[in-house]
């Protein structure tokens, strides 16, 4: 993007008088190009600006923007009137949205720099894979060998300390040749993504130095507050951290505090004691679930088969049981010349079906499901020749029809 575009965004300008240069249609949208604009296209994980383009006789909502051949293209929904090339208009961004995105983006820079410091002190390297900035909640995708809530809390505390110190946040521009020198000073940059002849560098004094095309605050104090709202592993060494900044973070803190106080009241304790009690409840729940799963496993293992054409046929219907336990236990019944057909009912009028066979049998379970079962019961499913499963519409009264269809299939093919 042109440097002058960034200078407009960094200036804090929210509206500009402009002249219409080009007009085009794209489906139901009108594409408007102006001679100048405060609108910023999506880049660096930060979404596009929304807003309006209007004059006394015309109004349009800007729903998307992009850069094309050095110009900002505005995708608009016409609200009233019409506009022509050469008309004077006012381009005005939704500043409330821009401000939320700006706080989130600066908060992300600050938090990751703090997280990287915390992890680095423990010998854990970390890098940002991507960022998804939102108005109410954002997400940071991080690559690290290890990450947990305690490390998040430590980084979160450091980030809020720096926010309270009102450190300066500045923007500078350097040529590509300067990447190596800045990298020695800790510049975070994905060099392969740099398309312009210059690099826009955002610096949080004493905390972070990053190549970035997003909009940012002038002081960390403007971020207001930062809180991590979620942590999820998305594969080995890859994590998603959800977070909020500014007013959204403050509201989240109050919301969590209200929930915590209600939980403490229910538990009849508070502070660390409440947390330890919750851990015990979760542990007891896990142990109970393990016992229930073991009981289910034993029930399936003890099913009595009937003999059809020399083949052992196991059949049974369950209600709201754990699928992985059903499949694992049923597979144990397939160690000899056998076929297993099970039903697991999760909600009224619907059922999950499982059909499987032992290895030495030539019966095609996927054919059984698709050519026989799904012709009788509306639904869908898949699998292979030895194991198939499907979700179908089935009442309890129709269960015997399913088992009879499997019996008939065995007799016909054996």
pLDDT along the chain (414 residues), means of 10: 83 95 96 96 93 97 94 97 97 97 97 97 95 96 96 98 98 80 77 73 94 94 98 95 97 93 87 86 92 88 90 90 87 85 84 92 92 93 94 91 92 86
Q: What is the CA radius of gyration of the chain?
A: 30
Both 180 and 72 in one domain: the answer is no
Q: Are residues 111 and 195 in the same domain?
A: yes
Is 73 within a domain? yes
134 and 26 co-located in one domain: no
**Same domain for 243 and 368?**
no
| Cα end-to-end span (Å), the chain | 70
Residue 88 shares a structural domain with residue 186 = no
Residue 376, CA atoms < 13 Å, CB-side half-sphere = 16
Other beta carbons less than 10 A from residue 274's beta carbon: 18
Phi-psi region of 154 (alpha: psi -120 to 50; beta: other; left: phi over 0): alpha
Please say which residue of 216, 249, 282 terminates a domain: 249
User: What range does the domain containing 28 cover?
Assistant: 3-93
Residue 114: what pLDDT?
Answer: 98
Domain check: are 132 and 83 in the same one?
no
Length in residues, the chain: 414
Q: Looking at the structure, do residues 229 and 305 belong to the same domain, yes or no? A: no
126 and 89, same domain (yes or no)? no
Residue 327: exposure state from Cβ atoms within 10 A (0-12, 13-18, ≥19): middle
Q: Is the same domain home to 228 and 363?
A: no
Residues 129 and 243 in one domain: yes
Judgement on whether residues 86 and 125 belong to the same structural domain of the protein: no
Instruction: Give the CATH number, domain containing residue 39.
Output: 2.40.30.130
Instruction: With beta carbons less than 8 A apart as the criterion, state whether 71 and 33 touch.
Output: yes
User: What angle is formed at CA 165 by the lines to CA 271 and CA 253, rounded to 5 degrees?
Assistant: 35
What are the tens digits of pLDDT across the range 281-299?
999 999 998 898 898 889 8
Contact 407, 414 (CB under 8 A): no
Shared domain for 78 and 130, answered yes or no, is no
Of the residues 73, 93, 113, which one is the last residue of a structural domain? 93
User: Crossing angle of helices 271-301/247-267, nearest 10°?
Assistant: 70
The domain boundary residue, chosen from 93, 127, 153: 93
pTM exceeds cut of 0.85: no
């Amino acid at each position: 993007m042109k440097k002058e575009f960034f200078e407009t965004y960094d200036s804090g300008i929210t509206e500009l008088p402009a002249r219409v240069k080009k007009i085009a249609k794209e489906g139901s949208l009108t594409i408007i190009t102006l001679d100048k604009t405060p609108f910023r296209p999506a880049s660096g994980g930060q979404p596009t600006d929304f807003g309006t383009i209007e004059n006394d006789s015309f109004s349009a909502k800007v729903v998307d923007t992009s850069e094309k051949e050095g110009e900002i293209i505005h995708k608009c929904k016409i609200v009233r009137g019409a506009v022509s090339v050469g008309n004077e208009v006012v381009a005005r961004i939704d500043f409330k949205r821009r401000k939320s995105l700006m706080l989130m983006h600066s908060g992300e820079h600050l938090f990751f720099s703090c997280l990287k410091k915390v992890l680095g002190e423990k010998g854990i390297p970390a890098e940002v894979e991507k960022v998804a900035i939102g108005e109410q909640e954002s997400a940071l995708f991080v690559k690290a060998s290890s990450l947990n809530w305690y490390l998040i809390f430590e980084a979160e505390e450091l980030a809020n300390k720096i926010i309270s110190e009102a450190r300066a946040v500045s923007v500078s521009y350097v040529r590509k040749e300067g990447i190596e020198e800045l990298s020695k000073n800790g510049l975070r940059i994905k060099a392969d993504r740099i398309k312009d002849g210059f690099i826009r560098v955002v610096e949080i004094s004493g905390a972070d130095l990053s190549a970035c095309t997003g909009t940012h605050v002038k002081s960390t104090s403007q971020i207001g507050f930062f809180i991590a709202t979620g942590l999820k592993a998305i594969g080995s060494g890859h994590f998603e951290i959800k977070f909020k900044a500014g007013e959204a973070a403050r509201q989240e803190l109050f919301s969590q505090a209200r929930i915590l106080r209600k939980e403490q009241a229910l538990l009849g304790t508070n502070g660390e004691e409440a947390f330890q009690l919750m851990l015990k409840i979760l542990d007891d729940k896990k142990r109970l679930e393990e016992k229930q799963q073991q009981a289910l496993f034993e029930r399936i293992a003890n099913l009595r088969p009937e003999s059809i054409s020399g083949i052992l046929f196991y059949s049974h219907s369950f209600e709201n049981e754990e699928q992985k336990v059903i499949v694992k236990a049923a597979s144990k019944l397939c160690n000899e010349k056998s076929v297993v057909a099970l039903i697991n009912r999760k909600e009224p009028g619907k059922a999950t079906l499982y059909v499987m066979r032992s290895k030495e049998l030539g019966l095609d379970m996927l054919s059984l499901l698709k050519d026989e079962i799904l012709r009788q019961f509306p639904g869908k499913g898949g699998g292979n020749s030895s194991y198939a499963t499907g979700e179908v519409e089935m009442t309890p009264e129709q269960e015997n029809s399913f088992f009879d269809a499997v019996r008939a299939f065995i007799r016909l093919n054996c």
